[in-house]
Amino acid sequence: MTESLWLQGTLLSRLSDSTRRRLLTLGIPRTAAASRVIIQEGMNESHVILLNDGLTKVTVAMADGRHALLDVRVSGDLVGEISALNGTPRSATVTTCRASAIRIIQRNDFRSFLRDHPDAAMAIAGIVADRLRLANRRRVDFASYPVKVRLARILWEIAMAYGYRQDDGIVVDIQLTQSELATMCGAAEITLQKALRELRATGIVDTGYRQVVVRNAAALQSCADAL
């Protein structure tokens, strides 16, 4: 993947050319098939994984057996950095949504890289801060907005960041289950299904097997911005 294709906000997009090139030489390149777990929640591991060309979802297990979707990681992102930095077990599971090219970087090599490239350490700190800010905003959303608006906001964010345009709309092909969407919206699955039916009935979105197509982006954005 060329440097111009790193999505804004990913680690590789935030680094200088020289630092980016150095990071891309670290570790061992591997390929991971679709639906493969590359990081397992609870494991005592400390390596990090750089997504050279990949799409993954980050989930955590809940007490009732469901899995809560926390976020999505794409080409240019790093996963597993928390365990590498503080030595704690994995806090989440990372699963590929399509065949992905990755680099597995051992903890010592990663920490040495950060010591030699303080701009990379600052970039990672900025990413962690952004994620905390987003998590706090979603907590406010849960308390302030109905499920339909929360769902519209989640779908809008994902579509703008990770969707791709086709003639019939913006395709979000990340293999998201309704249960995962429900937990991301902070709603019961039956309530999520009702909100999704309303968006379908008005022609804003369409759904298939673990896929969402945004048919009317302007209407979805308007719903997401509703007070």
Residue 81: per-residue pLDDT: 94
Tokens in use for 126?
């900025």
Domain 3-140 and domain 145-224, same fold? Reply is no
Spans of all domains in the chain? 3-140, 145-224
- Helices of type H across 15-117: 17-23, 81-86, 107-116
How far apart are alpha carbons 214 and 203 in whole angstroms? 9
CA atoms within 13 A on the CB side of 123: 22
pLDDT of residue 5: 65
The encoded tokens of residue 205 equal: 């979105």
Per residue in 51-105, pLDDT (tens digit) is 999 989 898 888 888 788 888 888 999 999 999 999 999 999 999 988 999 999 9
Mean pLDDT by 10 residues, the chain (227 residues): 66 95 96 95 96 91 83 92 93 92 97 97 93 80 84 88 86 82 86 94 88 91 78
Structure confidence at residue 76 (pLDDT): 94
CATH class of 3-140: mainly beta
Report the alpha-carbon distance of residue 217 to residue 206 in Å, rounded: 12
What is the CA 220 to chain-centroid distance, rounded?
20
Beta strands in 84-135, from DSSP E residues, in sequence order: 93-96, 100-105
pLDDT score for 144: 80
d(CA 112, CA 184) in angstroms, rounded, equals 35
Class of domain 145-224 as given by CATH: mainly alpha
